[in-house]
């Protein structure tokens, strides 16, 4: 069983839940940027929730199936079409041998997860099938899909019916505008003035065009004013420089104090820019669904709120598992 890639979309990659354990040598987690949607797509077609799927960003691919299959698309509102006939997102459906899966224009969100029963069966590299394109590692030949690729599909573990769906309350997608992204101040927060810190959390930012799997850039807020200092040896002369250090996932660096960048799942593991804090783990999926120009507010939270949000997200996944058991 294989899937032929007729058109690759914009930047479609194979992703699972990621590759922990190698960040200390610069190999990031990778994996789906919206893990909840990735798990939902898999559960809809009867896969283990961490099976490898296709992550399509902004634009869907065009795929031809060489055998019958069950598929589901979750995450962004990227409407699927089977031989030109519309199908639902968040719903499993059958594809017959020779049929072509394509997509209509993106209606909402940024990343659609295309799960196929059996999972995309590319080789496991360092414990994961996820693509880390910057390092040409994992996924399909270490890169985004190209026309002419043939993706292997694994054996179906347990066949499921088509027409299974995920109700709206279990989808975990961003709601309302501006999108609120919760973050804990910290790391090098002391480098900026109190007024700058307040401005960071009260300004409305917009997602910049430079938004990808490495990080999301934001613009439109006020520049951050720094607390004066003598540059420490090794840091560099710009007030936003630090002695090169590790970057947490979700950390918010602000090069030159102007445009914040939130690092995501293909994060560069370290570098020489100060960070004002870190987006909480529970809100990382939301960032993966933001389109350029989306207004965003960063909301200041503490550890207790971060852990409570984390618990809510885990419970949502629990309900999703129960609903699709």
Partner 1 sequence: MQTRFSFGGDEHIFAEVGEAMSLEAFFKSLFVTNAVRDAKIKGVTEICPANASYQIKFDPDQIKPDDLLTELKRLDTGSEKSEPVIKTRIIEIPVLYNDPWTHETLMRFRERHQDPNGTDLEYAARINGLDGVDAFIKAHSSAPWFVSMVGFVAGLPFLYQMVERKRQLQAPKYLRPRTDTPKLTVGHGGCFSCIYSVRGAGGYQMFGITPMPIYDPNQKISYLRDFMCLFRPGDIVKWKPIDRVAYDAAVADVDAGRFAPIIRDVSFSLTEFNRDIDAYNRKLDGVLHGH
List of residues contacting partner 1 (CB under 8 A):
20-21, 23-27, 125, 132, 134-138, 142, 183-184, 186-187, 189, 232-237, 241-246, 248-251, 268-272, 275, 277-282, 303, 306-307, 310, 314
Q: How far apart are the first and last CA of the chain?
A: 26
C-beta of 191: minimal distance to partner 1 in Å?
Answer: 10
C-beta of 242: minimal distance to partner 1 in Å?
Answer: 8
What pairing do the DSSP bridges indicate for beta strands 100-103 and 80-82? antiparallel
Half-sphere exposure of 188 (CA within 13 A, CB side): 25
C-beta of 236: minimal distance to partner 1 in Å?
Answer: 5
CB-based contacts of 223, cutoff 8 Å, min separation 6: 256, 257, 258
C-beta of 107: minimal distance to partner 1 in Å?
Answer: 31
Distance CA 185, CA 147 (A): 44
Half-sphere exposure of 274 (CA within 13 A, CB side): 25
> How far is CA 169 from its chain centroid?
20
Strands annotated E in 123-274: 150-152, 179-185, 205-211, 215-219, 241-246, 251-253, 261-263, 270-273
Distance CA 286, CA 295 (A): 13
**DSSP notation for 147-188:** TT-EEEB---SS---S--B--GGGS----SSSEEEEEEE-TT
Which residue, 103 or 273, has its beta carbon nearer to partner 1?
A: 273
What pairing do the DSSP bridges indicate for beta strands 270-273 and 150-152? unpaired
C-beta of 230: minimal distance to partner 1 in Å?
Answer: 10
C-beta of 239: minimal distance to partner 1 in Å?
Answer: 13
Which residue, 76 or 235, has its beta carbon nearer to partner 1?
A: 235
Which residue, 156 or 309, has its beta carbon nearer to partner 1?
A: 309
Which residue, 135 or 152, has its beta carbon nearer to partner 1?
A: 135
Cβ proximity of 221 and 200 under 8 Å: yes
Which residue, 98 or 318, has its beta carbon nearer to partner 1?
A: 318
Distance CA 175, CA 218 (A): 19
Which residue, 21 or 178, has its beta carbon nearer to partner 1?
A: 21
C-beta of 15: minimal distance to partner 1 in Å?
Answer: 16
Cβ proximity of 285 and 35 under 8 Å: yes
Tell me if residue 149 falls in helix, strand or coil: coil
What pairing do the DSSP bridges indicate for beta strands 295-300 and 205-211? antiparallel
Which residue, 142 or 295, has its beta carbon nearer to partner 1?
A: 142
C-beta of 149: minimal distance to partner 1 in Å?
Answer: 18
C-beta of 157: minimal distance to partner 1 in Å?
Answer: 26
Which residue, 21 or 98, has its beta carbon nearer to partner 1?
A: 21
Which residue, 48 or 256, has its beta carbon nearer to partner 1?
A: 256
**DSSP notation for 62-97:** EEEESS-EEEEEEEEE--EEETTEE--TTB-EEE-T
């Amino acid at each position: 069983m294989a899937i032929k890639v007729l058109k690759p979309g914009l930047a479609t990659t194979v992703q699972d839940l990621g590759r922990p354990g190698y960040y200390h040598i610069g190999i990031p987690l990778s994996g789906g940027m919206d893990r909840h949607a990735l798990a939902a797509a898999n559960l809809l077609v009867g896969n283990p929730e961490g099976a490898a799927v296709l992550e399509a960003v902004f634009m869907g691919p065009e795929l031809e199936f060489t055998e019958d299959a069950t598929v589901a698309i979750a995450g962004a509102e990227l409407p699927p079409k089977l031989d030109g006939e519309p199908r639902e997102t968040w719903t499993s459906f059958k594809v017959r041998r020779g049929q072509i899966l394509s997509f209509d224009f993106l209606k909402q969100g940024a990343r659609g997860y295309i799960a196929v029963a059996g999972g995309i069966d590319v080789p496991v590299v360092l414990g994961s099938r996820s693509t880390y394109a910057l390092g040409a590692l994992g996924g399909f030949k270490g890169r985004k899909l190209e026309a002419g690729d043939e993706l292997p599909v694994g054996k179906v573990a347990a066949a499921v019916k088509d027409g299974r769906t995920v109700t709206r309350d279990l989808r975990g997608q961003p709601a309302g505008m501006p999108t609120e992204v919760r973050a804990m101040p910290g790391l090098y927060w002391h480098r900026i003035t109190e007024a700058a810190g307040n401005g960071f959390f009260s300004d409305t930012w917009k997602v910049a065009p430079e938004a990808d799997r490495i990080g999301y850039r934001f613009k439109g807020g006020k520049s951050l004013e720094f607390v004066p200092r003598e540059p420490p040896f090794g840091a560099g002369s710009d007030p936003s420089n630090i002695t090169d250090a590790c970057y947490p996932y979700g950390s918010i660096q602000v090069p030159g104090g102007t445009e914040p960048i939130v690092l995501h799942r293909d994060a560069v593991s370290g570098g020489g820019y100060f960070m004002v804090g870190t987006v909480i783990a529970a809100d990382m999926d939301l960032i993966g669904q933001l389109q350029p120009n989306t207004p965003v507010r960063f909301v200041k939270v503490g550890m207790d709120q971060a852990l409570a949000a984390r618990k809510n997200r885990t419970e949502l996944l629990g309900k999703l598992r129960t609903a699709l058991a």
